[in-house]
């Protein structure tokens, strides 16, 4: 295992994690513990130590402001601990034979981004995590022969659950690059990287660095997630690396539930089919092709910490989880995510329109670097389609006409606004609410 340039064997990790578990045991009954989740061996040892001790870990974003940090610690009741990776517990005491927690007990408490209020603690059980990792190992043909490469934050599902616990679960080697730069990914390829994780921002930067992208031709599988991968980036990666990147879909509350398959047909803009044990349905109005994606399965969270009403509201009366994402399903069961119900479902002139479809059309224009589409109130249409784009040498009228030639005419933007950059969070997801914040 290598994290940000520091290397350790799994035996050394187990010893350091055992020391963390011993420290937690010495504290007496502990509801949860927190660690500042830097890209480091200390973070990995803390999470594994919590699993050994049966005490849920709360990873704190290293860049969290004082208010967010205080809220997470207060809400979770977690004790903040420091980890010294050099400390080792004897192999016997580091073994997980004394684990106090069962598979349904809390293993991790990950906090949401707080876009709809104060961040909520999402309680994930060991059973949900193992079910998800085993399903992904089957879908991606992920084994101990792989070397997983990524540089993602260790306080999200993508970087921590998939990117660390997934490697430990499968026994594959892990190379965390510290930062997900094209140069770091290319260097890892030379060292034998076979399975790569990235978010769209990472992949777009790699696609813009042809030499680095070419180095990834040695890989076995490229995986993209946490936000939609723009079709032009998909095509550039295919041209430069020879790989069609697999997209997958998930949430903190559900872990990963949909994915393309290694060796299977992979299409741009599609997030594949349900993983083992997952069932999906589309809650659409009569005659509509798109609607809210709802699902059930063994990977779902145990609930929002201390918020039974919010937990109940997240499910339908018959027990399906409401993702809040708008999706469509092709005839062969392949899913496409077209946006969030709260920001990306636009009702204009009697039509229900997914913003993601328009964004992909805009990104197909050679002069458009970024695009975000929203609906704004309109007295005539109900909502007016407004596109925010990062582009040079093209007019709004030209982009409107461009979309109209690619999609149905009623999906064309009624207004195009040029901006310097689309606001995004740490995982590269657009923060659309900020687009109109200055108005």
Tell me, what DSSP letter sits at residue 326? E
Burial track 111-139 (b if 16+ CB lie within 10 A, e otherwise): bbbeeeeebbbbbbbbbbbbbbbbbbbeb
- Cα-flanking dihedrals φ and ψ of residue 106, to 5°? -60, 135
**CB contact at 8 A, 368 and 394:** yes
pLDDT at 97: 42
Measured CA to CA, the distance from residue 378 to residue 380 in angstroms comes to 6
| Portions of the chain given CATH number 3.40.50.12780 | 2-259
Global confidence as pTM: 0.82
Q: Looking at domain 2-259, which CATH architecture does it have?
A: 3-Layer(aba) Sandwich (3.40)
Closest CA to 355 of 321, 317, 333, 326: 326
| Portions of the chain given CATH number 3.30.300.30 | 343-439
Fold classification of 343-439 (topology level): GMP Synthetase; Chain A, domain 3 (3.30.300)
What's the Cα-to-Cα distance from 218 to each of 109, 211, 225, rounded to whole Å? 36, 13, 21
Please report the beta strands in 30-141, taking only residues with DSSP state E, as ranges in sequence order: 33-36, 57-60, 79-80, 106-111, 121-125
Bridging pattern class, strands 147-150 and 195-198: parallel
Measured CA to CA, the distance from residue 48 to residue 18 in angstroms comes to 8
Closest CA to 152 of 176, 184, 122, 186: 176
**CB contact at 8 A, 412 and 385:** yes
| Per-residue tens of pLDDT for the chain, all 439 residues | 999 999 999 999 999 999 999 999 998 888 999 999 999 999 999 999 999 999 999 999 888 878 788 989 999 999 999 999 999 887 655 544 444 567 889 999 999 865 556 789 999 999 999 999 999 999 999 999 999 999 999 998 999 999 999 999 999 999 999 999 999 999 998 789 999 999 888 998 999 999 999 999 999 999 999 878 888 899 999 999 999 999 999 999 999 999 999 999 999 989 999 999 999 999 987 777 889 999 999 999 999 999 999 999 999 999 999 999 989 999 899 999 887 766 677 878 767 787 887 888 899 899 999 999 988 888 778 789 999 999 999 999 999 999 988 887 888 999 999 999 998 876 677 888 888 775 5
């Amino acid at each position: 295992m290598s994290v940000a340039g520091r290397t350790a064997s799994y035996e050394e990790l187990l010893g350091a994690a055992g020391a963390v578990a011993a420290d937690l045991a010495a504290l007496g009954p502990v509801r949860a513990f927190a660690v500042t989740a830097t890209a480091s061996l200390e973070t990995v040892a803390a999470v594994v130590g919590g699993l050994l001790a049966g005490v849920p870990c709360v990873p704190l974003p290293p860049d969290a402001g004082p208010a967010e940090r205080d809220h997470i610690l207060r809400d979770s009741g977690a004790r903040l601990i420091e980890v010294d990776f050099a400390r080792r517990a004897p192999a016997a005491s580091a073994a997980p034979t004394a684990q106090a927690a069962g598979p349904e007990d809390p293993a991790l408490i990950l906090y949401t981004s707080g876009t709809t209020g104060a961040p909520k603690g999402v309680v994930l059980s060991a059973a949900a995590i193992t079910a998800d990792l085993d399903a992904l190992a089957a879908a991606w043909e992920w084994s101990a022969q792989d070397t997983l490469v990524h540089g993602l934050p260790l306080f999200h599902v993508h970087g921590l659950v998939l990117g660390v616990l997934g490697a430990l679960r499968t026994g594959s080697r892990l190379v965390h690059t510290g930062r997900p730069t094209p140069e770091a990914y290319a260097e890892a390829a030379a060292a034998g990287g076979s399975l790569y994780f990235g978010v769209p921002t990472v992949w777009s930067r790699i696609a813009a660095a042809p030499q680095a992208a070419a180095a990834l031709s040695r890989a076995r599988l490229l995986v993209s997630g946490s936000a939609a991968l723009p079709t032009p980036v998909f095509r550039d990666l295919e041209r430069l690396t020879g790989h069609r990147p697999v997209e997958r879909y998930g949430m903190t509350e559900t872990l990963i539930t949909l994915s393309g398959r290694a060796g299977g047909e992979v299409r741009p803009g599609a997030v594949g089919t349900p993983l083992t044990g997952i069932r999906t349905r589309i809650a659409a109005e009569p005659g509509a092709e798109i609607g809210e994606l709802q699902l059930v399965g063994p990977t779902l969270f145990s609930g929002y910490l201390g918020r039974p009403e919010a937990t109940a509201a997240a499910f339908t009366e018959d027990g399906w989880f409401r993702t809040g994402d708008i999706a469509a399903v092709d005839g062969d069961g392949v899913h496409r995510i077209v946006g969030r119900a709260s920001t990306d479902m636009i009702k204009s002139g009697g039509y229900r329109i997914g913003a993601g479809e328009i964004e992909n059309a805009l990104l197909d224009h050679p002069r458009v670097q970024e695009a975000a589409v929203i609906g704004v109130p309109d007295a005539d249409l109900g909502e007016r389609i407004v596109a925010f784009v990062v582009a040079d040498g093209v007019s709004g009228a030209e982009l409107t006409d461009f979309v109209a030639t690619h999609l149905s005419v009623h999906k064309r933007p009624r207004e195009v606004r040029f901006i310097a950059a689309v606001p995004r969070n740490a995982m590269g997801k657009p923060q659309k609410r900020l687009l109109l914040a200055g108005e």
